[in-house]
Structure 1
Amino acid sequence: MRVLGMISGTSHDGIDHAVVDFTVRDGVLHGEVGGTGSTPYPEALRGRLMRALPPAALTFAEACELDTLIGQAFAEVAAAAEAAGGVDLICSHGQTVYHWVDEGRVLGTLQIGQPAWIAERTGVPVVADVRARDVVAGGQGAPLVSLMDVMLLAGLPGRPAGLNLGGIANLTVLRPPGSDAPLAYDSGPANALIDAAVVRATGGRDRYDADGRLAAAGRVDPALLLELLAEPYYRLPAPKSTGKELFHAGYLQRMLAGRAELSDADLAATLTALTAETVAAEVRRYEVDTVVAAGGGCANPTLMAMLADRLDGVRLTTTDEFGVDTDTKEAVAFALIGWHTAYGLPATVPSCTGATGARTLGAIVPGAGPLRLPEPLAVAPTTLRLTTAGAAR
C-alpha cells in the first residue's frame, strides 16, 4: 500500500510530505520512501496563521477561513504528490493550532486543514484528525511519532531514544530504567524560542537561525539560562506535551524583561543552549546510550554541537542512518499511522502518550469511489525497516 503522509509542524512554515510504499514480509513492516519534499505556505497565508496563534484571540470566521485555506494548501501538495506516482491512501496531520493542557492533562487538541479538500482534489481516501482519539482515551495526543521510533529502533541494543527537534523537542526512550515499556514526551522547546528570537532580531526578515550562525556568534548568558531552566514544565512527570501555547514570542519577551543590554547573538546562543541542556538532562535522566535525532534542528550545527558536548559517552546519530531523511521523519510517521488505520491496527503506544490503551487513530474521508479498506491484520508488525526508493535493499 502506497501511503502519502503530510504534516505542518510547530514551526508553522509549510507542509512536509512523504510517499511510503508499505509491505509486510516475515512479520516485519518494510517501507520504501519515495517522493518527499517540503512546500512553504504562501506568505500571506503563513502571516495570517501566525497572527491567529496563541496567545492571540481568534474569531470563528478566521478559524473557518484558515481551516479552508490550509486544507486547500494541503490539497495542492497532495495532488502533486499523487500525480507523480499514485497513492492508495493519504494521511494528513494538518496544522496544530491549539493544544489544550490543564495541569498536565490534555483536554483537547485542534488541527486544522479541512481534509475534504484533499479527498476532493485527489479522489483518494484521507485519514485525518489523528490525535483526538488518543486524547479521548486519556492520552496526551502526543508525541504520536513514538510509534515510529519504537518500531524503527527496535533492533538497537541498550537504551536507545528517538529525538525530534522541531519547534518542540520530543523524546522516545525505548527501555527506560526499571521498565520494559517505552516512554515518550515533549521535553521542551527545540526551535520555537530560537525562531522567535531570530524574528525579533531581524524584524521578521529571517525566521530561523540558518546554520546556527547567530548563536555561534554569541555567548551564553548564564543568568538568563538559569532563569529559563526554572520553567515549571521541565519538572512535570512524563508523559507530558506542550507547544507554542507556552513557548511563544510573548513568553520570550517576558523572560527578557530588564535585559535590554543582551545582544541578539547572545540571546540566540542562550536559547540554543536551553534546548541542548533540557534535552541532555532527559537523556541523562533515563540513562540513554544512543540518541537518533531528526527534525529541523539537525540542520543547526551550533545546536548539535552544544548537544553533543552535553552527551559525553552517548552516541548521537540521525535517522539518515535508518533510511529516512531528518527533515522527512514526521511525514513518514504519519504515513505509517495512516497504514495502521487502513488495516484496523492501533497506532499509539499507551505508555508513550499516557492513554488507557492503544487506539486506531483518525477519521476517514472517502475518495472519489466507494471506500474499500484492506482486510484487517490479526497481528501488528512490531519492527519497521525503511529504505529509499531506488536504493539497494
Structure 2
Amino acid sequence: MSELYIGLMSGTSLDGVDGVLVDFSDSKCLVRQHWSAPLATELRAELLALNTAGADELHRAALAANALVRTYADTVQALLADSGVVASAVRAIGAHGQTVRHRPQAFDGTGYTLQLNNPALLAELTGITVVADFRSRDVAAGGQGAPLVPAFHQHVFAQPQATMLVLNIGGISNLSVLGAKDDAQGQVLGFDCGPGNALMDYWCQRHTGQPFDRDGAWAATGTLLPALLAQCLAEPYLHQPPPKSTGRDLFNPHWLHAQLDTHGNAAPQDIQATLTELTASACASSVSSYGKKSKNLAVCGGGAFNQHLMHRLQALLPTVAVQPSDAYGLPAQQVEAAAFAWLARQTLCGAPGNLQSVTGAQGARVLGAIYPA
C-alpha cells in the first residue's frame, strides 16, 4: 500500500498555501516535494474579512472555500508534476482548510472551531482521497482542537535523551514541549503562546503596503515602547495555564487598536518593533515556564524567516539554542503541511491524531473526515 501522502496548509498568516508530498515508508517522514502558492489578493482579503461577522457570511464563506480549494488543487497538481508522481500513487491528501473562527468550550460548554474548506470538491478535482476537518472531533471530546501539530512534532523532532522544544510561528504562535523518547515519564505538552505574525503583518500592511515585514527589517528601525509592551503582555490569555488555544478571534486589529488608544502619537516603526517584541516575549515566556529542561528550540513557520524576531528570541533565551527547524531535518516552511499529511495518515490507519496532554480532550481520538477519491 502506498505511503505517499500530500499535506496542504494555509495558516492564520494568510500568506499562501504550502503543499508537501511526503513519503512515510518505514514510519519516517521524507518530504519528496514542496510547493508554495500565494493566495489571490481578493481571496486573501475575503478570508481575512470572514474572521469577523459580516453581511451574507454563509454565501461568502461557501464561495471562498471553493476558491481556496481550487488553489489547493493547483498546488496538488504542481506537486505531482514536479515529482513525477501520478495521482493514483498518493494514498490521501490532508487538507486543513482555513480557520476563520476558533471558539472551543465557549458559549455552550462545547463551542466550535470552523475551517473553510470543500474537501468533496478537492477530491473531485484531484482524484485523490481527501481527509479534512481534523479539529472538530477533539473539540467534541472536550478539547481545544488545537494545536494538533505537537503529536507530529513528537514523531519527527523528539530526541532520545533530551527534552526538545518546537516553536511554530504562524499568524499565532504555538509551542511543543517534547519529553525525551527514552524517558518513560516523558510527556508532550503543547499550546498556543499568543500572537505570532498576525499583528505584525497587519501593521506592516497598513503602514508600508507590504504584506509582511521582510526579515523584520522595518521593526529593527524602530524603538521599543516599554509601556505599550507591558500593556499588551497584561492580556489575560497570556497568563492562562495550558491547555489553551487562540486565534484571530482574540488577537486581531480591534484588540491591537484597543491597546494603542493611549499611544496614538507613537511612530509606526516603534509600534512594529513593540509588536515584534510582544511575539518574542510571549514565546520566550512560554519556553521559560514550560520548557525549562530543554536547551534546544527548533523554530518553524513564517516567523523563522524574520531575522529580527529570531534575534530577539535568542536574546530573551540566552541558554537555549534557537534555530530554524531546518537544523533538525525538516525545513521551517514545510513543517505544518507535513503535519497534516501525517494526520491524514493517522486517520486512514485508525490511529489517534490528538494528544490529551495537549488539547485537554477526554482522551485520544481518531481525527478527520474521509472523502474517498
TM over 0.5: yes
1:238 correspondence with 2:242: yes
How many Å apart are 1:153 and its aligned residue?
Answer: 2.5
Structure 2 equivalent of residue 261 of structure 1:
265
Contact kept in structure 2, 1:71 and 1:112, CA below 8 Å: no
1:222 correspondence with 2:230: no
* Deviation string, structure 1 residues 296-353 (Cα, Å, up to 9, x no partner): 0111111001110010111212211222110110001111111111211111111111
1:21 correspondence with 2:20: no
How many Å apart are 1:115 and its aligned residue?
Answer: 0.9
**Coordinate RMSD, CA, aligned:** 2.0
Structure 2 equivalent of residue 382 of structure 1:
none
How many Å apart are 1:129 and its aligned residue?
Answer: 0.7
Letter in 1 for 2:244: K
Structure 2 vs 1, CA of residues 57 and 306 (structure 1 numbering), >3 Å: closer, same or farther?
Answer: farther
How many Å apart are 1:159 and its aligned residue?
Answer: 2.4
Structure 2 vs 1, CA of residues 156 and 166 (structure 1 numbering), >3 Å: closer, same or farther?
Answer: farther
Provide the C-alpha distance between the structure 1 equivalents of 2:314 and 2:8, rounded to a whole number of angstroms: 30
Provide the C-alpha distance between the structure 1 equivalents of 2:55 and 2:357, rounded to a whole number of angstroms: 34
How many Å apart are 1:34 and its aligned residue?
Answer: 1.1
Contact kept in structure 2, 1:99 and 1:106, CA below 8 Å: no
Structure 2 equivalent of residue 137 of structure 1:
141
1:5 correspondence with 2:7: yes
Structure 2 equivalent of residue 65 of structure 1:
63
Provide the C-alpha distance between the structure 1 equivalents of 2:253 and 2:34, rounded to a whole number of angstroms: 31
| Aligned pairs (5 A) from 1:120-199 | 120-175=124-179, 180-199=186-205
Structure 2 equivalent of residue 39 of structure 1:
37
| Aligned pairs (5 A) from 1:1-393 | 1-24=3-26, 29-54=27-52, 56=54, 59-84=57-82, 85-86=85-86, 87-102=90-105, 107-175=111-179, 180-202=186-208, 205-286=209-290, 287=292, 288-367=294-373
Provide the C-alpha distance between the structure 2 equivalents of 1:336 and 1:322, rounded to a whole number of angstroms: 18
Provide the C-alpha distance between the structure 2 equivalents of 1:108 and 1:54, rounded to a whole number of angstroms: 15
SS at match of 1:5: strand
Letter in 2 for 1:39: A
What TM-score comes out, normalization by structure 1 length?
0.88
* Deviation string, structure 1 residues 65-110 (Cα, Å, up to 9, x no partner): 1122222221222233234423221110011111014569762111
What TM-score comes out, normalization by structure 2 length?
0.92
Contact kept in structure 1, 2:18 and 2:334, CA below 8 Å: yes
Provide the C-alpha distance between the structure 1 equivalents of 2:239 and 2:49, rounded to a whole number of angstroms: 30
* Deviation string, structure 1 residues 230-264 (Cα, Å, up to 9, x no partner): 00001111010000111111211111113222111
Which has the larger share of helix?
Answer: 2
How many Å apart are 1:52 and its aligned residue?
Answer: 2.2
How many Å apart are 1:48 and its aligned residue?
Answer: 1.8
Contact kept in structure 2, 1:345 and 1:360, CA below 8 Å: yes
Contact kept in structure 1, 2:35 and 2:79, CA below 8 Å: no
Letter in 2 for 1:260: G
Between the aligned residues of both structures, percent identity stands at 40
* Deviation string, structure 1 residues 36-57 (Cα, Å, up to 9, x no partner): 0210111221122222222555
Q: Which moved more, 1:68-77 or 1:223-232?
A: 68-77
Letter in 1 for 2:157: L
